[in-house]
Chains A and B, each alone.
Chain A
Amino acid sequence: MALAREENSPLFAGSVAGTLRLIFYLALAMVLMVLDHRNGWLWRLRYNAAIVVEPVYRLAGLPSAGMRTLSVAFADRKLLTEQNQRLREDLLLANAKLNRMAAVAEQNQRLKELLDTQRSLELNVQLARVIGMDMGQASHRLVLNRGDRDGIKQGQVVIDAHGVIGPIVEVLPTTSVVMLVTDPNHAVPVVVERTGLRTVAFGSRDGGQLSLPNVPMAADVKAGDKLLTSGLGGRFPPGFPVGEVRSVGQSASGMFLEARARPTADIDRSEDVLLLHDQAEPAGPPPPSTPAGPPAALAPVSGSSSASPPVSTSVASPATPAAAVQP
C-alpha cells in the first residue's frame, strides 16, 4: 500500500516525541527478549502468575471441550456401538496378550533379580488429560491437566497407547506443556526395529511428520520399518515405538539418505495420555556398586532353599496405576 508522506498531518507536531516513545518501547521489548532468551524469564513469570494464567487456559479450552461433548451427544448410535464392539475386541486381544506376557514378565523379573539389577518391566505411569490448547502457532505443543502439584517433573516422557508423544518441557502448578515429537526443534534418538540401525528422528517443518535426515547411504531402511526409542542420551527410555518409515530418498546434500516417518502415537487425536515416571536412565557412567559379593537373596539362610526370592523390587507405588506394556 503506497502511503504518501504525512506533511500536514495534525500528528506531525507530536511525531518526534512519538518516535522517541516508539524507540523506547522497542528497546524495552528487545531488552526483555534478550534477557528472557538468556534466563528463561517467561516461564518463571508464567509460573508465578499461574493463578491468572491457568484459568485463562482452561477457559480457552472450553470451546473444544464443548465440541467434544456435543460430538458425543449427537454421535450416531450405530457408530458408538461399532466403536464399543471394536474396543471390546481390542481389550480381549490385549488381555490375551497380557496373560501370555505376564508369565514372561515374571520370568524376566526373576532372572533380573538374580542378576541383581533394578530394571523392571513394569511401568510407573500417571494418566493425564489433554486440555486442547496449543502454544503459539508455529510450535507443536500440548497442554496437559497435570502439573507440579501432581508431581510432574520437567523431562518426563508422555506416551499414548501407540507410541511416544514427547517430553514435558514446562511445568506449571496444575498444568504442564508437552513438546511433540513432530516439533521441528525436537529430536529423539531412535533405532530401526528390523535392522538395529541407530539414528536420530527430528520433527519435520511441514508438520505432523518425522524426518531422519542422516541415514547412511548403505543402510538398509525401507518404508514400513518401525522406529523405536534407542534410549541413548538418557532422555527417553528404550523400546517405545516412535514412528513408521513412510518413504526414503536422497537428502538435500546427497551425502545421506533421508527417511520420512509418520509418528505412531495418535498425536492429533489423543485425549488421554500417560506420563512415565523416572523411566529414563541417567546418562553418564553408572554409580559405583557398593557390595562386592553374592546378592542378598543368596545369602546363607537357615531355610531350605533360596529359589523363591520374596523381595519385590517393583518401583511402582500402590497409588499409581501400573501397567505392563509390551514393546
Chain B
Amino acid sequence: MNRHRLSLLWVSGTLAFGLLSMLVPLPAVLQSFKPYWPALILLYWTIESGDRITLGVAFAVGLCADLLDGQLLGEQALRLCALVFIVLRFRSRLRFFPMWQQAAAVLVLLLNDRVLQLVVRTFAGESLPSASWWISPFVGALLWPFVFLLLDDLRMHSVAHSRSPTR
C-alpha cells in the first residue's frame, strides 16, 4: 500500500517536472530544439507501468499542459490521449524492444504528435510553422535513451528504498 502510494508520488512528481521543463525558457537559438517533455515522461510511465496510466490520466495531464502553456484548451489533451492510446496498444512489444528500436518508435510517435498538432493548428486558423519546428521530435528521440535510463534508475531506487524498511 505504502509502496503503491510512493510510486504514485513518483509518477505525478515526474509528470509535474515534465510540465515545468516544458515552460523553461531557452535562448532563441535553442528554442526549436526543446523536446516535448510531458510526452516523453508520459511515454515512459505508459511503457513501464501501463496499468496506472490510462487515457484519463493522459487527458488530465494534457489539460494541465494546456492550462499552463497552450493556445487552445484541449489541444495537448487530444495529442497526449492519442499518444498514450497508441503506446498502450503496442505496449507489450515496445517494452521488449532494444533501445535503438524503442527510440525509433518514440521518434515516430513524436512525429505523429506533431502532425496532429499541425492539423489542429490549421483548423484553428494559425499560420504554418517554419521547418525548424520539425527538429523537436528528433531531439526527443535522441534524448529518449537517457530519459528512459534516468527514470528507470529513479524508479528502481524508489522501489528499493521503500522495500528496505519493511524487511
User: Is A56 a contact of B66 with CB atoms below 8 Å?
Assistant: no
Decide yes or no: A60 and B20 within 8 Å by CB, A139-B71, A205-B130 being known contacts.
yes
| Inter-chain contact B81/A29, CB cutoff 8 Å | yes
**Which B residue's beta carbon lies closest to that of A22?**
B85
List the count of A-B residue pairs having beta carbons below 8 Å apart.
126
Residue of A with least CB distance to B104: A1
Q: Does A205 contact B127, Cβ atoms closer than 8 Å?
A: yes
B90 touches A136 (CB 8 A): no
Asked whether B8 is an interface residue with its Cβ less than 8 Å from the other chain, the reply is: no
Cβ–Cβ contact A26 & B78, under 8 A: yes
The answer for the CA separation of A22 and B56 in the assembled complex, in Å, is: 9
**Residues of B in contact, count (CB < 8 Å):** 49
A29 to chain B: which residues have CB within 8 Å?
59, 62, 74-75, 77-78, 81
CB distance from B119 to the nearest CB of A (A): 11
* A-contacting 9-mer, from B25-33, B145-153, B155-163: B25-33
Which secondary structure dominates chain A's binding surface? Answer: helix
Q: Are A42 and B55 in contact (CB under 8 A)?
A: no
Q: Are A137 and B136 in contact (CB under 8 A)?
A: yes
B82 at the interface (CB under 8 A from A): yes
B53 in contact (CB, < 8 A): no
A25 touches B81 (CB 8 A): yes
A232, B74: Cα distance in complex, Å = 36
Inter-chain CA distance A48–B20, complex, in Å, is: 20
Partner of A138 from the list B54, B82, B121 (CB cut-off 8 Å) is: B121
Chain B, range 65-124, C-beta contacts under 8 Å to A:
66-75, 77-78, 81-82, 85, 88-93, 104-105, 108, 120-121, 124
Q: Which residues of A sit under 8 angstroms from B1, Cβ to Cβ?
A: none
Cβ 8 A contact of B126, one of A9, A15, A25, A185: A185
CA distance A26 to B55 in the complex (A): 10
Is B78 a contact partner of A33 (Cβ separation < 8 A)? yes
Of the stretches A127-135, A252-260, A318-326, the one at the interface is: A127-135
**Which residues of the other chain, B, contact A61 by a CB distance below 8 angstroms?**
25
Chain B CB count within 10 A is highest, among A33, A35, A53, A184, for A33
Name A16-68 residues within 8 Å CB distance of B. 18, 21-22, 25-26, 28-33, 35-37, 41-42, 45-46, 49, 53, 56-57, 59-61, 63-64
Listed from nearest, the 5 A-B pairs whose CB atoms lie closest are: A32-B74, A60-B23, A29-B78, A36-B73, A29-B74
A-B residue pairs in contact (CB < 8 Å), sample of 25: A3-B93, A10-B92, A11-B88, A11-B89, A22-B82, A25-B58, A26-B81, A28-B74, A29-B62, A29-B77, A29-B81, A32-B74, A37-B72, A46-B67, A53-B67, A53-B68, A63-B25, A133-B25, A134-B25, A136-B70, A137-B31, A137-B136, A184-B127, A206-B130, A207-B130
